[in-house]
Structure 1
Amino acid sequence: MNENAFWQLIDDCTPSTSDPDAEQLAATLTSRLSAGPLATVIAFAEQLSWALYRLDRKEYGHDLSSDSFLYTRAAIVAAGRETYEATLRDPQLFAPYARDLIWAESLLYVPDEAYRRITGDEWDRNTRYSYESYSNTAGWADA
């Protein structure tokens, strides 16, 4: 799954009604990924981790706890490619999500749940990039 396919999947699974905590999005993504090959689940996990890693920078999360920062970054991803890319260009767009505690924690569990549904096992996954807060050392240089 390349970046375009990742964002298309997010777009395809975004509900047409309000979904403030991305619960519906996460459920639809999990169902969609569970119906496909395991390789797609793994590729989705990689793309999700990369997207979250790219937002792991001091200009976004300097005043947030690690969990709040992670869940807020997930909300930016859940908002879709346009919002995500705009936020990468303009860190001020992150502020309302952080201020209003707009979170999408459920998005983080999508790959693990899809993996469990396909294999019946828990996934002890490691992705190329860590999505944990403050793991992007280049993003926090001079912090």
Structure 2
Amino acid sequence: MHENTFWQLIDDCTPPTPDPDAEQLAAALTHRLSAGPLATVVGFAEQLSWALHRLDRREYGNRNGLSGDSFLYTRAAVVAAGRGAYEATLHDPRLFTPYVEDLIWAERLLYVPDEAYGRITGEEWDRSTRYSYESYSNTEGWADA
């Protein structure tokens, strides 16, 4: 899946009403991905992992004192906010702070590929992606400056 396709899918599935924890977004994404080919689910998982991995950096996590899980769920909220918010946050780490202060988490977004895979195949997905989205796994992002 191309990066533009990933962000268009996020945009297309974003509900018209506020959805700060991305529950509705995740449900819509799961439904949409479940209706397509398995390759689309795999591509979505890869793009999601890459987006989360890119936010796994010292300038986002270190300054906010978050636990590993909290840091991951907050990064997912930035992705759920869409491409504009995501790219702005990549360029200005201070934009990450409101997600932390307002406890905006999008944990449910993390399970979208697994749920879509399960609906298509009837099996649990023991997946791995090229990039890990687990907190503090981006060694380049946590290297001393």
Partners of 1:101 and 1:6 in 2: how far apart?
25
Amino acid at match of 2:121: T
Partner residue, 2:71 = 69
Within a 5 Å distance, the mapping from 1:101-140 to structure 2 comes to 101-140=103-142
TM-score normalized by structure 2?
Answer: 0.97
What residue ranges of structure 2 are gaps of 5+ in the alignment? none
Bigger shift: 96-105 or 37-46? 96-105
* Equivalenced residues, count: 143
Q: 1:91-139 CA deviation, whole Å, 9 max, x = no partner?
A: 0000010111100000000000000000000000000000000000000
Moved >3 Å (runs of 4+): none
Question: What displacement does 1:142 show?
Answer: 1.5
Q: Does 1:26 align with 2:39?
A: no
Partner residue, 1:7 = 7
Amino acid at match of 1:81: R
Question: What displacement does 1:20 show?
Answer: 1.4
TM-score normalized by structure 1?
Answer: 0.99
Q: 1:19-45 CA deviation, whole Å, 9 max, x = no partner?
A: 111000000000000000000000000
What residue ranges of structure 1 are gaps of 5+ in the alignment? none
Partners of 1:6 and 1:127 in 2: how far apart?
15
